[in-house]
Chains A and B, each alone.
Chain A
Amino acid sequence: MVRFMITLWLAKLAMWVYKLRGRERDDRPGLLAIKLCPDFLRRIKKPPLVIAITGTNGKSTTSALINNKLVAEGLRVSFNDWGANLYAGFALNLMRCVNIFNGCRYDASVLEADERTLDVSMGQIEPDYILVTNICKDSLRRNGHPEYIFDIVERTFNMLGKKTKAVLNANDPISSQLAQNNERVYYSVADFGPQPFENIVRDIEVCPYCGARIEYNYRLYRHIGDFYCPNCGFKTPPARYEATEVDLAARTMTVNEEGAWQQYPLISDAVYNVYNVLGFVALMRELGRPAAELADFLRTQQVTKIRETCVEFNGIKYYTYGAKSQNVSAASTVFEYMAKEPSTKDVVLLMDELQDKNHPPETLTWLYETDFEFLNSPNIRKIIVGGHMYLNHRLRLLLAGIPPEKIVCVEDEADIVEHVDREGIEKVYVLFEIDFVSKARRLRDSIVERAKEEAAK
């Protein structure tokens, strides 16, 4: 206990110093706390409500909605919205909730949690709820394969037992099998006809219990849908919250909650965001928030600016759009969206992981699990790739069947600007690795500036 208290004081002092320097989101004080006291996360007092959101994709959007709702209610909420979803980030987050005597002064903590380290972190934090958005193919280097991640998350639920309630995506054949010994509740989406593309590789193809091929009554994207095994009882579990009517154009969904119906606004027209909003609804309903109140709240929400921004000039909309390089499922899903979003567009790929540029280089395997084939779409006029991996992108795009005349690959990202069309298109999407939001915006702004210069001539 003495060790913990001294650690808390030192880490809080460091936190104060960083705050004075305008770096209150720097998680090094949290790192210090973990180093000095390895069970810091277990010992620190937690707010009365702790919610963890994990999964391969969608956790940032979902956790932001949860945080925003609790804050809108007037609760004092600590939220690691700066992407620090590992031990140090959790320590910093929870330190904000306590005074120097380890007395908790916050009402809630919302923790976006990295799934690969979930067992160690949440084993200590013991959250009241863990919402698992999905488990999909992700970065090889960070996450190995979905089965590896499933085992880690399952181990977490086994450790937590009855302390933690699981909120799960019933339409995911992988993550829906979690928390078999915990209290758990499901959400699902009925078929609304999005006609998903076929991925070159699915995240799961065989029944985890008998090895037979998984079949679908319908699929909404990737491996997400109403699944069953023709050989055993493995199938989509019944959901307490089912989105029965989804209208992407109108951005609404109607949720059937055990016979009670409520329409909710959606925050975007992307299929995966239906699940993000539905996961939010399911969790907040489990917390007892009235459905109509949640619907009113969602009318005030939009996709976080970390993921998507837009400016318009001369009738062309210029977007930055988070796509997650190395994350096979996220990148493929965004590529599918690019093909289905009907506007005529140029797509800029800014997806190199910069930390890989120097030491060591980026792995290339993700290029060949990701569906670049989806970009071979008539509404995509040009694909422009920049960065040190440009030759590999060029080869991948060619092998995806994309006509060479549609492909522009340049080593220097600054040269991208010169190749973006300024007429004959409706939109430009800069798809970027999400760690580099500012860089993407700078490039997008340079493209717009160049368009303005041309227009002024």
Chain B
Amino acid sequence: MKIEVLFPEICNLYGDLANVRYLKACLPEAEIVETSLKDEPLFARERPDLIYMGTTTERGQLLAIEALRPYREMLEAAIEEGVNFLLTGNAGEIFAREIVEEGEKVADGLCLLDFSARRKARKRYNSLYLGEFIPPEGASAAGENAAGENAAGASGSEPLKIVGFKTVFGFGYGDLADQALFTTERGYAMNPDVKYEGIRRGNLFFTYIIGPFLILNPPFTRWFIAHVLGKTGTELAYEEAAMDAYLTRLKEYSDPNTGFTY
């Protein structure tokens, strides 16, 4: 199994790269291939099992767009072929139509995801996030562990609760309801007018949630490894400790007395 990490030298904010380290801890046989800005991407030569990109700065986004633009058609083909992608934080904006700041276009994106990233000049929105992921029909069994329980600890195909953090300078706008990744219960959604968060296009998963998303969400990670990466029955690294922390966090985030925005 090969996991390509795009531009870890710049797409490394907020602990996002811990997602890759966690996948490696869960899947020791996985080979992590780091692609730098000046390198030819691995996906240009072969099909990795997963392409990951994390959060970067606003100038980092421009560098990443320019580095990927020559490979835009290859990326389009990879998405169409069902290659797995995981984009966290503002990495998804690199794949968007455009990035706009205060009404002025900053950059054309790669036009691989049909939305526009619109941000305010240096206005930050920070929030916790609580949402729900509904595994596609027939996929839930793949998320079961060896004991036949699903990620939340119960049998069956129940929705998976998602927790995390968001820090954004703006929001994503587009007609994306049919590609929604998560349904938002609390915290900032894709934009203030909708309830969904993130995008799923084929096997491309994008969420604005930042940081160690996979570590924070062991139920989703178990599902992702089993159903998307095809490694059924994989035990997560320090699964018990991860679940203890997750369940406590979920309880805290579900408490209506818990504040959500900073």
Contacts and interface: CB of A to CB of B under 8 A. Distances in A.
Given A148-B122, A206-B37, A398-B238, A213 B211 contact: no
Interface stretch (A250-258, A360-368, A413-421): A360-368
B18 interface: yes
Contact of B211 (A200, A361, A368): A368
A214 to B, nearest CB: 9
Interface stretch (B96-104, B170-178, B196-204, B254-262): B254-262
Interface string A195-220: 00000110001101001110000000
Interface in B216-262: 216, 237-238, 241-242, 244-245, 248-249, 252-253, 257-262
B252 to A, nearest CB: 6
Contacts of A201: 12, 15, 17
A391 B15 CA distance: 18
Sorting the interface of chain B by its residue count into under 10, 10 to 19, 20 to 34 or 35 or more gives: 35 or more
A369 B211 CA distance: 9
A140 interface: yes
Contacts of B241: 391, 394-395, 398
B126 A145 contact: no
Contact of A144 (B167, B211, B245, B249): B167
Contacts of B237: 399
B76 to A, nearest CB: 24
A360 B260 contact: yes
Given A395-B215, A398-B238, A399-B237, A363 B244 contact: no
Contacts of A365: 14-15, 165, 210-212
B124 interface: yes
B216 A364 contact: yes
A359 interface: yes
Sorting the interface of chain A by its residue count into under 10, 10 to 19, 20 to 34 or 35 or more gives: 20 to 34
A211 B252 CA distance: 42
B128 A361 contact: yes
B238 A360 contact: no
B58 interface: yes
A360 B128 contact: yes
A210 B207 CA distance: 29
Contacts of B252: 361
A394 B245 contact: yes
A211 B37 contact: yes
A148 B57 contact: yes
Nearest to A363: B165
B211 A364 contact: yes
B52 to A, nearest CB: 14
Contacts of A395: 215, 238, 241-242, 244-245
A368 B215 contact: yes
A180 interface: no
Nearest to B255: A361
A351 to B, nearest CB: 15
A147 interface: yes
B9 A140 contact: no
B141 to A, nearest CB: 27
Contacts of A211: 37-38, 63
A206 B167 CA distance: 23
Given A205-B9, A364-B212, A395-B215, A145 B258 contact: no
B129 to A, nearest CB: 11
Nearest to B165: A363
B21 interface: yes
Contacts of A145: 13-14, 57
B35 interface: no
B205 interface: no
A394 B249 CA distance: 14
B44 interface: no
Contacts of B9: 205-206, 213
A425 to B, nearest CB: 26
A398 to B, nearest CB: 5
A123 to B, nearest CB: 15
Contacts of A212: 38
Given A147-B59, A213-B36, A398-B241, A140 B215 contact: no
B15 A369 contact: yes
Interface string B5-31: 000011011110110011001000000
Nearest to A392: B245
A399 B17 CA distance: 13
A163 interface: no
Nearest to A360: B259
Given A146-B57, A368-B215, 17 more contacts: A141-B262, A147-B60, A200-B17, A205-B12, A211-B38, A213-B36, A213-B38, A359-B259, A367-B212, A369-B13, A369-B14, A391-B244, A391-B245, A395-B244, A395-B245, A398-B238, A399-B18
11 contacts: A140-B14, A364-B216, A365-B211, A365-B212, A368-B14, A392-B249, A394-B245, A395-B241, A395-B244, A398-B241, A399-B215
Interface of A: 140-141, 144-148, 151, 200-201, 205-206, 208, 211-213, 358-361, 363-369, 391-392, 394-395, 398-399
4 A-B pairs closest in CB distance = A368-B15, A365-B211, A360-B259, A368-B18
